[in-house]
Structures are given as structure tokens and as C-alpha cells.
Amino acid sequence: MNSRERFLSACRLKPVDRPPVWVMRQAGRYLPEYRALREKHSFLDVCRTPELAREVTLQPLRRFPLDAAILFSDILVVPEAMGVNVEFADEGPVLTPRLDSPQALAALIDPDVERALGYVGLALDAIREGMGPEKALLGFSGAPYTLATYMVEGRASKPFSAIKTLAYREPALLHALLARLADVVTRYLRLQAAHGADAVQLFDTWAGELAPADFSVFALPYVQRIVRGLADLDLPVIYFVNGLGGLVERAVESGAAALGVDWRVSLADVRRRTQGKVALQGNLDPLELYGPADRIRRRVRELYAETAGAPGFILNLGHGILPDTPIEGMAAFADEATRLGGQP
């Protein structure tokens, strides 16, 4: 069983020889080769240049025994394609103008995704050529609620008062924005599938900030809309909500093949609550990789034990790997993953 077969089988709740492994943000600042490349190129230049995106995407696969590569890009390329100005400052992305009025919504572009985001397709082509057919290739997008949060707030600014005020005072305006985002994201993910993505992940980083009832109104329906829009493709969707614990049963209703699980909830608990209906991905605390190798290896085995050997488990962190993560920690995590198998 090669890596691609292992990954796709796990997504589909089929038996595997061992759980597949990859890591959110596995290509990035913790790698010295990435930092060297970034000394010459801006972040957005790397995202928009297929040859550079290919190089960065493949860097972690050269170091670690990972089963999947994930496209190097950013969720905010979608708002940018819709006419929003996106700048990456030291304190994080800044989006202008803010989407807080009917006039701002009307000014959004309905993009020709092939034209506006065609560089992503070219990057996926280049990545597949560079890594061959035996590893899984993942595409991704932000989910509508999380994208809307950035667009309405103008930045990631807890407690997210701007988007929640919009939701409570002008829900029709927010729903109109979410619907437009869902349509663009669907087309964007179809583009990725056409260029070789084996599976895609929807990042709903800020949906966990919603009360469960609001999640069912402002986040879930638009993820369901995207999943339905991809239903004719053989394309597993992984839905990652940061703060899944109180939303597990609702997230299962998304129709996604797998749920990404953050580290604040146990895999055993999520497995029980999902009743084997979906695959699970996760969920080591990213800060565990700062610990000694023997502890990291033990924690990997403990995570696997929480699954009780049931099909449908993808080993990952519970969030993205952090920029100053020790290489040795990532190496221990990935290596121990290859030693799993059989009954935990």
C-alpha cells in the first residue's frame, strides 16, 4: 500500500496497514530551507509562482516520511480574487475595504476562477510532477465563515465583534456574503481537483468561536453547500474546525468525509460521538513537538490507541505546526507514525 492509497483509504473508512500522516503547515518557517527561500521572495510571490510553490510544498517530503503533500498557498487568495486587497503585515493579514455594508458586498468581483487563481492549478501540476504518483496531494480553501470573518473584521481580531454584530443585526447581509463565498470556494476546489488534488481540506479556523446554534446557521449550511457542489467528484473533503469539541455532532452533518480534530478534545470522545460515520484527523497539540523525542513518540502511540484501531484515522497535529518548532520534534513525530500498525 503506497502513501496515496493509504491516505485515500483512511478518508473512506477503509482498512490501512497504518494510519497516514501529514501535518498542517508542514511546509513553512520551521524549515531552514524555507527561510532561505523567503530571504529572496515574498510570501505572496511564493504562493503565486508555481515553481516556488512546488519547491516549498516538496521541502518537508524530502525530510520526513509523510504520506501527503499539501499545496503551499493561503486561504486569503479567495478574498483577493474577489477584489479585496490583502496585505501581510507583521501582526497578520490586513484586508481592505472591510465588508460591512451592502455597497461593499455589491463591489465584490465574481471571479473567473481559472483566470484569477489559475496559478494554483499550475502549482498543483508542478507539485504532482515533482513528487510522483505515490503520495497524496491535498488542496485546500478557507471555509466561508472563516473567510467572511477576515473580510468583515479586516483582520483576525478576537472577540470578532464586527462579524458577530453583523450576524445579529444584519443577518441577511452576512448570508449574502457567505453564499457568494461558498460558490467561489466550490469553483476553486473544483479547479484544484482538475489539477490533481486527491483530497481537499476546508479550514474553518474561526467557526469554533460561534455558539452551537449560530454554527448551524452561519457556518454549517455553507460547508454543506460546498460539499454538495463537489459531490460528482471523487474528492474526499476534510473539514477542520478549530474548537470542534462543542460542535462535533453538528460538524458530522457537513457531509465531509473526515473531520479535523483540534487537541482540546480527545479522539476517543470524538470517535464515540461520530459513531464511525466519518474519518478523523488529528490531533496532537503542536507544542508537544517542543518536548523530548521519547515523549513525542509515546504521545503518538497514545493517540493511535484512542482510535482502538478503527478505520478512518489520519495522524496530524491539532493545529498548524508552529514557526519555531524543533526539527527533531517533527522528525520524531513523523518517524513514529510509520511504526504504527495492527492493534494499538
Indicate which residues carry an active-site annotation: 25, 29, 38, 74, 150
The helix (run of H) or strand (run of E) holding residue 189 is helix 171-194
Q: From residue 226, how far is each of 10, 188, 189, 278 by CA, in Å?
A: 21, 10, 9, 17
| Cβ-Cβ contacts under 8 Å for 27 (sequence gap 6 or more) | 34, 56, 57, 59, 60, 69, 70, 72
Three-class secondary structure of residue 161 per DSSP: helix
Give the whole-angstrom CA distance, residue 137 versus residue 139: 7
Cα 256 from Cα 239, distance rounded (Å)? 6
Strand 92-96 and strand 85-89: pairing?
antiparallel
Q: What residues are paired with 237 via a beta bridge?
A: 200
Q: How far apart are CA 142 and CA 82, in angstroms?
A: 14
Q: Are 314 and 258 in contact (CB under 8 A)?
A: yes
